[in-house]
Amino acid sequence: MGRLQGKIAVVTGSASGIGRGTAVRLAAEGAIVIGGDLNTAGGEETAALCRAHGGAASFMTTDVTREADVAGLIGHAVEQYGGLDILFNNACFSGAIGPLETTPVEDWDKSLAIGLRSVFLGIKYAIGPMRARGGGAIISTASTAAKRGIRGLPAYCAAKSGVVNLTQSAAIELAEDGIRVNCICPGDILTPMRASPLPKAELEAQLAGLQPIQRPGRPEDIAGAVVFLASEDAGFVTGIALDVDGGALTGLWSYGGSSQHSHLRTSGFLGPSFQRKAASDLPAAAAV
Is 72 within 8 Å of 131 (Cβ atoms)? no
Q: Is 156 a catalytic residue?
A: yes
Q: Please list, in sequence order, all residues whose beta carbon lies within 8 angstroms of the beta carbon of residue 233, skipping any fewer than 6 positions away.
A: 3
Annotated catalytic residue, options 81, 125, 156, 255: 156
Looking at beta carbons, which pairs linking 255-262 to residues 24 or more positions away fall under 8 Å? 255/150, 255/151, 255/210, 256/150, 256/151, 256/152, 258/206, 258/210, 259/198, 259/206, 260/196, 260/198, 260/203, 260/206, 260/207, 261/150, 261/151, 261/152, 262/286, 262/288
Residue 217 DSSP label: B
Distance CA 249, CA 244 (A): 10
Task: Label residues 5-40 b or e (16+ Cβ within 10 Å = b).
Answer: eebbbbbbbbbbbbbbbbbbbbbbbbbbbbbbbbbe
Is 74 within 8 Å of 138 (Cβ atoms)? no
CA neighbours closer than 13 Å in the CB half-sphere of residue 115: 28
| Closest to 128 in 3D by CA, of 72, 199, 74 | 74
Q: Point out the residues that are catalytic.
A: 156
